[in-house]
Amino acid sequence: MKILAIEASSLVASVAILTDDIITAEYTINHKITHSQTLLPMIDEVCKRTETEVEEFDAIAISSGPGSFTGLRIGSATAKGLGMALNIPLIHVPTLDAMAYNAFGTDMLICPIMDARRSQVYTGIYSFENNEFVIHHESCAVSIEELIQMLSGYGRRVIFIGDGIPAARDIIDAKADFDYIYAPAGMNRQRASSVAILGALYYKDGRTETAAEHLPDYLRMSQAERERKERENG
């Protein structure tokens, strides 16, 4: 089994190759959103470095959102184009699930955070129970105060992960009534390797889709869509 993984949901552009259970390559850039210029050259580079022909891939795992509308569209278009050209399936991996997977093995509740702006964060609640990945609350967009209320009900120590922490930290520090820590920098960014590992699990379970079927998970309308709807409603 050989899987190409693509992560483009935020400032981070990341690609990885998983061969059976081994990450043979990962290439990550966390600098400016130029995914339209960087993703294909990054894929080409990891293929060259690992002597992999694109025809060898069995599937493409794509970080499906939520996140940057632009980044998600570019990542989706890249995955769909390759999937159609190679006639292979796509594996839909929620971005927050993959971020939570960065904390594999922890006994804490895992709470990834991405800044959704408009006083909200994209988040979810996860844990590992006997090394099984458990989703307690699927991806959603909520205020930081709502998230704190959600977490309070679990009565467990929490590890916060993600590039949305700077936007949420002050409110968390002021209002959280449970024990928590913030993940170190090495765990805080979206990584294609986590997308690949989860993608492999989903692939083995038959959870794939065609390139034509794939759609990103935006969770809410873009600013342009909101403005258009407001104009239509007068």
Is 100 part of any domain? Answer: yes
Q: Which residue has the higher pLDDT, 51 or 34?
A: 51
- pLDDT (mean) for 150-179: 97
* End-to-end Cα spacing for the chain: 53
| Res. 25: pLDDT tops 50 | yes
The verdict on 80 and 156 lying in the same domain is no
Distance (Å, rounded) from C-alpha 105 to C-alpha 108? 9
3-state secondary structure of 178: coil
Kindly state whether residues 107 and 77 are assigned to the same domain.
no
User: What digits encode the pLDDT tens for the residues 48-102?
Assistant: 999 999 999 999 999 999 999 999 999 999 999 999 999 999 999 999 999 999 9
On whether both 71 and 125 belong to a single domain, the answer is no
Whether residue 88 is contained in a domain is answered as yes
One domain for residues 29 and 83: yes
CB under 8 A, 24+ apart: contacts of 149-153: 150/125, 151/109, 151/111, 151/125, 151/176, 151/178, 151/180, 152/176, 152/177, 152/178
Q: What kind and span of H or E run contains 5?
A: strand 2-7
> Which residue range forms the structural domain that includes residue 16?
2-94+189-224
Cβ proximity of 100 and 114 under 8 Å: no
The overall average pLDDT reported for the chain is 93
Q: Are residues 40 and 68 both part of a single domain?
A: yes
Q: What would the DSSP string read from start to end of 181-199?
A: EE--GGGSS--HHHHHHHH
- 130 with 175, same domain: the answer is yes
| pLDDT band, residue 31 (cuts 50/70/90) | confident
Residue 231 lies in a domain: no
Q: Are residues 8 and 88 in the same domain?
A: yes
Q: What pairs with residue 97 in β-bridges?
A: none
Q: What pLDDT, on a 0 to 100 scale, did the predictor assign at position 231?
A: 46
| pLDDT given for residue 34 in this prediction | 83
**What is the tens place of the pLDDT at every residue in 107-149?**
999 999 999 988 899 999 999 999 899 999 999 999 999 999 9
Residue 62 lies in a domain: yes
| pLDDT for the residue numbered 5 | 99
How far apart CA 19 and CA 124 sit, in angstroms, is 29
Largest CA distance in the chain: 57
Please state the domain count of the chain.
Answer: 2
Does residue 33 sit in the same domain as residue 73? yes
Residue 108 lies in a domain: yes
Q: Name the residue among 129, 99, 94 with its Cα closest to residue 111.
A: 99
Judged on CB neighbours under 10 Å (0-12, 13-18, 19+), 154 is: middle
Name, in order, each residue with C-beta under 8 angstroms of 201's C-beta and a sequence gap of 6 or more. Answer: 133
In this structure, the answer to whether residues 83 and 161 fall within a common structural domain is no
pTM of the model: 0.92
What pLDDT sits at residue 226? 42
For residues 114 and 67, is the Cβ–Cβ distance under 8 A? yes
- Are 208 and 83 in contact, with CB atoms under 8 Å apart? no
| 7 belongs to a structural domain | yes
Handedness of CA 27, 33, 34, 39 (dihedral sign): positive
